[in-house]
């Protein structure tokens, strides 16, 4: 059969078109039926950019609602190297190093990655972010975040601690209460155009939940007084470290906590571990003569001694088993009261020998030694105290005067607080309240009594003796003008390579004021001070300066509060 050429061409064209139609139809069916979910995901990925929305981390306040840690706005810069192209990368390499403070090698390594998302720098200031935006470099974008700032820099560094780049607490109450402060992140979806540029169209999928605020027991002003006083003496005597804590002896609230060396919370990345260590709770040492308050309390409460009983102090040398015990100066006969006022090692040892080792051990436990205080900050150690069955023949001349026992600064502060508040051992704490973002209190923390360590009568008798320590004894440099204070000095040889050193010491002081109605209790410890190593000369003046400033401040605060209450 013959077909005209035109008809043949038509038939061929028809067959080709029909074939193409069948191919396209099959392909369309495959796409619609079998590949739709896969292709939808690709489209969503290209058109939608899911970003994390960081919550606002809770603010940390002092007891007067003055901020110690806050969140400020920050912008994190990221790049899409695939989108930037050679021109964009070249412009970035030229402009960004000086703005970001990074070297070209870092940027080269980042921008050479075959990825859609690469972090360049996290948490830039608003000003730097604006500077980069003005460059209009294709493929650079920002995620709005927040950055932790500490207005006081060094102030209360070992209390507050710090949060890292990802807003997780790493030290101090930032770490201890991270679950409350951190909040929960949210998620947003950002639309992109065909060129993969972010559009200003954002859909919130999950709203972030901001963190709770913390209100500390710390008073910013008292903390400042303590920091200033300790710093001056730290510079003068150049110890390895120093620690100080101020408590409200009636409640156990921590009003100030100071360590040296210290560091700037805003530059924590440049600090060393030794600067971040919280010596108040983490260092254990032999306390020396401040521990004599334990022996004095046990002897008076057990009725073994009265304040006027006389004790012969052997003119400065006394043998205990195979050890010769010395006093820092020769004493003949002293009363019980004078033994504590003048801090006679021999006199206290004779008291302990008549009393027995078991009561000394028992009252040390009652006053909180050899066990963690439970303070709400990380890093606390328990200290050490051997039971009497493990004592050697010389222990009766060592433990009662503060040797062969390990204590912490916080334990000393709690023990002297028990003398101040009629014999009650309180648990120290530094979180007053947890509040939500509306200011509503969701949890409040109250004072906790650990135990009645000694009777009120015994506490009063020991308090009177400790007033004498400052008025007539080794703590004269801690005397406060027009106010009676009570305290005890201590000086202990350090143990170096298992032996007591003759040129390295711990200098200590514990005390409270005013003696008749104590508002503050304090413990101060210097590790190996230079120039002088006695607690009465190194630490007592710090107590005096802080106590004078704090008592004036508290009196002024009380006056303001009273006027406010009486206002119409």
pLDDT at 195 over 60: no
Q: What is the pLDDT of residue 201?
A: 42
Q: What is the pLDDT of residue 31?
A: 61
Greater confidence (35 vs 347) lies with: 347
pLDDT at 336 over 60: yes
Give dist(CA 260, CA 538) in Å, integer.
Answer: 15
pLDDT at 199 over 50: no
Beta bridge partners of residue 486, listed in sequence order: 512
- Among 246, 248, 238, smallest CA distance to 159 is for 246
pLDDT over 70, % of the chain? 89
pLDDT over 90, % of the chain? 66
**Weakest-pLDDT range from 16-30, 132-146, 432-446, 472-486:** 16-30
Write down the residue that tokens 């972030």 correspond to: 208
Q: What is the pLDDT of residues 372-387, one digit of tens each?
A: 999 999 999 999 999 9
pLDDT at 443 over 70: yes
Per-residue pLDDT, averaged over 67-85, amounts to: 83
Give dist(CA 519, CA 250) in Å, integer.
Answer: 8
Q: What is the pLDDT of residue 56?
A: 86
pLDDT at 464 over 50: yes
Q: What is the pLDDT of residue 567?
A: 56
Query: How sure is the predictor about 564, in pLDDT bands with cuts at 50, 70 and 90?
Result: low
Q: What is the pLDDT of residue 137?
A: 82
Per-residue pLDDT, averaged over 184-212, amounts to: 65
Q: What is the pLDDT of residue 324?
A: 94
Mean of per-residue pLDDT scores for the chain = 88
* Strands of 8-139, DSSP E: 48-53, 60-61, 67-79, 118-124
pLDDT at 190 over 80: no
Q: What is the pLDDT of residue 28?
A: 66
474 φψ region: left (φ > 0), alpha (ψ -120 to 50), beta (else)? alpha
Q: What is the pLDDT of residue 208?
A: 80
Reported pTM: 0.82
Most confident range (mean pLDDT) of 26-40, 130-144, 470-484 is: 470-484
Greater confidence (301 vs 496) lies with: 301
3-state SS record for 398-411: CHHHCCCEEECHHH
pLDDT at 6 over 80: no
> Coil, strand, or helix at residue 363?
helix
Give dist(CA 267, CA 159) in Å, integer.
Answer: 16
pLDDT at 117 over 70: yes
Q: What is the pLDDT of residue 33?
A: 62
pLDDT at 118 over 50: yes
- Where helices occur in 336-447 by DSSP H, the ranges are 336-341, 345-355, 357-366, 409-420
Q: What is the pLDDT of residue 238?
A: 96
Asked if 316 contacts 330 with a C-beta cutoff of 8 angstroms, the reply is yes
Q: What is the pLDDT of residues 409-441, one digit of tens each?
A: 999 999 999 999 999 999 999 999 999 989 999
**Weakest-pLDDT range from 84-98, 242-256, 483-497:** 84-98
Between helix 357-366 and helix 345-355 the angle, nearest 10°, is 100
Q: What is the pLDDT of residue 167?
A: 80
| 514 cis-preceded (ω within 30 degrees of 0) | yes
**Weakest-pLDDT range from 47-61, 189-203, 485-499:** 189-203
Q: In what order do the strands lie in the sheet with 198-206?
A: 48-53, 186-192, 198-206
Q: What is the pLDDT of residue 200?
A: 43
3-state SS record for 299-326: HHHCCCCCCCCEEECHHHEEEECCEEEE
- Domains along the chain with CATH numbers: 50-98+106-216 (3.90.1310.10), 220-566 (3.40.710.10)
Q: What is the pLDDT of residue 309?
A: 97
Q: What is the pLDDT of residues 514-562, one digit of tens each?
A: 999 999 999 999 999 999 999 999 999 999 999 999 999 999 877 666 5
């Amino acid at each position: 059969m013959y077909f005209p050429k035109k008809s043949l061409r038509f038939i061929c064209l028809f067959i080709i078109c029909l074939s193409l139609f069948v191919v396209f139809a099959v392909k369309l069916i495959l796409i619609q039926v079998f590949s739709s979910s896969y292709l939808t995901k690709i489209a969503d990925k290209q058109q939608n950019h899911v970003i994390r929305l960081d919550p606002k981390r809770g603010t940390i306040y002092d007891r007067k609602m003055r901020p110690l840690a806050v969140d400020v706005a920050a912008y994190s810069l990221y790049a899409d190297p695939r989108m930037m192209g050679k021109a964009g990368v070249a412009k970035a390499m030229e402009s960004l190093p000086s703005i970001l403070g990074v070297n070209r090698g870092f940027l080269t390594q980042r921008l050479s990655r075959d990825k859609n998302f690469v972090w360049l720098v996290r948490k830039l200031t608003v000003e730097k972010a604006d500077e980069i935006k003005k460059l209009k470099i294709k493929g650079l974008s920002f995620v709005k975040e927040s950055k932790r700032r500490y207005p006081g820099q060094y102030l209360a560094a070992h209390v507050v601690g710090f949060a890292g780049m990802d807003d997780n607490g790493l030290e101090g109450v930032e770490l201890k209460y991270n679950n409350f402060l951190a909040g929960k992140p949210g998620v947003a979806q950002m639309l992109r155009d065909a060129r993969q540029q972010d559009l200003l169209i954002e859909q919130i999928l999950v709203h972030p939940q901001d963190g709770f605020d913390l209100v500390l027991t710390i008073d910013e002003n008292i903390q400042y007084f303590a920091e200033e006083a300790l710093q001056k003496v730290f510079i003068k005597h150049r110890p390895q470290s120093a620690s100080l804590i101020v408590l409200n002896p009636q409640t156990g609230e921590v009003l100030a906590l100071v360590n040296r060396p210290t560091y700037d919370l805003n530059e924590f990345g440049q600090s060393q571990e030794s600067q971040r260590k919280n010596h108040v709770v983490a260092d254990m040492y032999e306390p020396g003569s401040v521990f004599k308050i334990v022996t004095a309390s046990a002897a008076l409460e057990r009725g073994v001694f009265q304040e006027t009983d006389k004790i012969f102090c052997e003119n400065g040398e006394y043998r205990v088993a195979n050890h010769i015990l010395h006093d820092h100066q020769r004493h003949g006969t002293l009363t019980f009261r004078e033994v504590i006022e003048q801090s006679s090692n021999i006199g206290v040892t004779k008291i302990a020998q008549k009393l027995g080792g078991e009561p000394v051990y028992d009252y040390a436990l009652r006053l909180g030694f050899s066990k963690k205080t439970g303070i709400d900050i990380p890093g606390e150690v328990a200290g050490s105290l051997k039971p009497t069955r493990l004592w050697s023949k010389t222990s009766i001349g060592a433990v009662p005067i503060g040797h062969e026992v390990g204590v912490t600064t916080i334990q000393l502060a709690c023990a002297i607080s028990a003398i101040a508040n009629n014999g009650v051992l309180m648990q120290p704490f530094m979180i007053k309240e947890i509040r939500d973002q509306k200011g509503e209190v969701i949890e409040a923390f109250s004072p906790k009594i650990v135990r009645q360590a000694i009777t009120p009568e015994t506490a009063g008798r020991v308090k009177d003796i400790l007033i004498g320590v400052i008025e007539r004894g080794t703590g004269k440099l801690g005397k406060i003008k027009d106010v009676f204070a009570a305290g005890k000095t201590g000086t202990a040889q350090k143990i170096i390579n298992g032996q007591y050193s003759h040129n390295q010491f711990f200098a200590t002081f514990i005390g409270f004021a005013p003696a008749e109605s104590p508002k503050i209790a304090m413990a101060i410890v210097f590790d190996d001070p230079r120039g002088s190593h006695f607690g009465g000369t190194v630490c007592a003046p710090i107590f005096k300066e802080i106590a004078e400033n704090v008592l004036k401040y508290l009196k002024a605060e009380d006056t303001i509060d009273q006027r406010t209450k009486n206002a119409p």
